[in-house]
Amino acid sequence: MIKMIAASEGNLHDIACPLCREKYGSTNGKGQEEVVPLALLDAMYGTEQ
């Protein structure tokens, strides 16, 4: 279970970092918290928010 959680967090980080760099010019944690929900929606449903 812990390995699954760690892998999921790593995947979210991998999704969020490029988006944060593009949107904010940095990869700080606050920016990642803002872009991850949108990135997950896009990944699941193929829609850009």
> Helix-strand-coil percent breakdown of the chain, rounded to 5?
80, 0, 20
Read off the pLDDT of residues 1-49 as tens digits, 9 standing for 90 and up. Answer: 677 766 666 777 777 788 888 888 988 888 877 877 776 777 767 755 4
Show me where the domains of the chain are located.
2-44
> Which pLDDT belongs to residue 36?
76
Q: What is the model's pTM? A: 0.54
Q: What confidence tens digit (pLDDT) does each residue in 22-34 have?
A: 888 988 888 877 8
pLDDT in the model for residue 25: 92
